Amino acid sequence: MIPASLLKVVLPGEVYPFCLGEKHSGGGFAAASRGNTEYKKTWEAGVVFDAHIHLEQYDNLDERIKRWREAGVKQVTAVSNDLASSYRTLEIKERYPDVVRAGCGFHPEQPLPETSEWEEWKCLVKLEREHIACIGEIGLPHYELDYLPSPLEAYEEFLAECLLVARELKLPAALHAVHDKAELAFDILRREAPAVPAHFHWLKAPEDVVARITKAGYMVSVTPEVCYRERDQRLAAAVPPDRLLVETDGPWPFQGPFAGMETTPELLHDVIATLAGITGEKEADLAARTQKNAERMYGGM
């Protein structure tokens, strides 16, 4: 997800500038706009774990989390974009300790942090280690690379530093690394911190790179885009069952059947239904498996 500070206001039907050239298929599995009642009824047979969401960007969390839990959302991994959002995410974790798995990091699609911010962040994650589930969101820029003040090489060095923190604290990494940056991030991970568990969130990469990532034991997740993009459906079919996670990357908005809808973990109902159609599994079984995978990655209550 692109940090909120970099987003422009987008009207329904518009295309985000970061997604130009990535056409939506418009086909595949479709989902109707559903109300909370139907979601709750559907999920009585199982629960789901949103493996990647920017929770600190939502308002009215008391009301939202109550509704999400009633809809079968057991836990979420809440990632951060910078020092300030790392503090906010940890505050949310303190308020909802049985729901939130907290991640602290610096999103790569933005300028690198100042040295003082980096040093304070390192002190923060060491001090709050027992309350943190991962270092993230970290990775390499792709969509904003041409507009950032630092070259890609500087981001490669910074990713290596973040991974060393993850290694020192024995924490997994939540990675933003897409297209040609996925293999580059994979190589940095293997070189600098091969023992650090990693989650390549909302992965977009060539098939051979996906195979390398999953063969190495890393997790891969799909978003609601899997409900309407053939590319994401092919990815889901290629990921081994014990490596697949589901996420919303909320509040990032989606197109297709979700155009104009707010992104919340409740959309994972449609993700699970689509994946069940791909794998042939029962929805409740697939939800339980992805939940188990997420708990193995980020811990569970």
Annotated binding site: 52, 54, 137, 176, 201, 249
Three-class SS of 185-220: HHHHHHHHCCCCCEEECCCCCCHHHHHHHHHCCCEE
Residues 6+ apart with CB under 8 A from 189: 163, 173, 175, 196, 198, 218
- CA angle, 17 then 18 then 24, to 5°: 90
At residue 288, what is the residue type? Answer: A
Burial profile 156-176: b = 16 or more Cβ within 10 angstroms, e = fewer: bebbeebbebbbeeebbbbbb
Backbone angles phi, psi at 132, to 5 degrees: -110, 135
Separation of alpha carbons 252 and 55, rounded Å: 11
Q: Which among 219, 86, 76, 81 is positioned nearest to 139, based on CA atoms?
A: 81
User: From CA 160, how far away is CA 138, in angstroms rounded?
Assistant: 10
Distance CA 213, CA 78 (A): 23
Tokens 């409900």, residue?
A: 227
CA dihedral 101, 124, 63, 297 (to 10 degrees): -10
What span, in angstroms and rounded, lies between the C-alpha atoms of 222 and 202?
5
Annotated binding residues for a divalent metal cation, written as ranges, equal 52, 54, 137, 176, 201, 249
DSSP structural state of residue 290: H
**Which residue reads 């993850």 in tokens?**
166
